[in-house]
Amino acid sequence: MVDYLETKTLGNIQQKGTIVTNNAVAAQLIASRASATLMPPPSTDPTYTLSDAYAVAKIHYDEACAAGMVAVGRKIGFTNPVAWPGMELNTPVWGYVYRTTVFDTTAGATHHDLTGALQPKIEPEIMFGLKSGVIGTGNPVAALQSVEWIALGYEIVSCPYPEWKFKGVDAVSAFGLHRALYVGSKRMITANDDLAEIVARLGSLTAKIYKNDVLVGEGGGNIVLGNPAQALAALAIVVANQPQFAPLAAGEIISSGTLTPPPAIVSGDRIRAEVAGFDLAPVEITL
């Protein structure tokens, strides 16, 4: 995967006394990814806030756009509330995904090169394709009214912080930990679908992930804020309160959060994910 994050030339880094500015944090994270080296998390500075983290994310987004990258959707993180206390969060968080980081497995994109990835893991996720903007009511059935299709897929995540030890603000700052999305076969939403039933089925589905034919994780839609459609509804509220970012819009791909604990991966691994209780095809990729 080649994008601006791996080729960006750093400019001047400004500091105020001993407190690093958001521009400096943004530059350090770009350098970390470009050189595939670990770095201390920004939350090492106790004054670093979630607002700072999204300011850094906006810097990265603006630089990506200036370099010709095109955002095609968003990934949601920390949709399991059990993780919130340790992450010092009370809400899910999100980051952009780009045309150069999203792949369609049905079009033959079933291999990912891990060169340059930092401590990579893989997350099986429910993904949504939007046909319209999502109004931030928090209602999952209403959120599904904006959905054209649902798919099972993967997010590959890459962490620049030693031993995966960080806070939620650090994940937001580090491109949402995003490296790539792989989208599986799409289950289209039709006028005949009962959206309330789909919400219920998304919440009750079970998921398994296999690495080299060995079961390495189990979970389900219930750990994704109760169900993945609820995660989509929650994202709409979060983004609606962030005027520096564009609202959710038609054409976006939304990855709703991991269905299982994410296993670590290395080159040569073969990964397969499957769900039961909802009509989505299994997805397999190699690394």
83-135 residue pLDDT tens: 999 999 999 999 999 999 999 999 999 999 999 999 999 999 999 999 999 99
pTM for this prediction: 0.92
What is the pLDDT averaged over residues 217-243?
97
Is the pLDDT at 5 greater than 60? The verdict is no
CA distances from 238 to 55, 134, 213, 287 (A): 15, 11, 38, 33
Residue 13 pLDDT exceeds 60: no
Mean pLDDT score across all residues of the chain: 93
Domain ranges of the chain: 71-286
Write down the CATH number for the domain with range 71-286.
Answer: 3.90.850.10
**CA 253 vs CA 14, 30, 99, 120, 127: distances in Å:** 35, 24, 10, 22, 7
Structure tokens at 201: 């089925």
CA 183 – CA 106 distance, rounded (Å): 8
Span 272-284, average pLDDT: 97
pLDDT > 70: percent of the chain: 93
- Contact in structure between 93 and 176 (CB atoms under 8 Å): yes
Residue 9 binned pLDDT confidence (cut-offs 50, 70, 90) = very low
Query: CB within 8 A of 198, min separation 6: which ones?
Result: 144, 150, 189, 229
Judged against a pLDDT cut of 50, whether residue 3 lies above it is answered with no
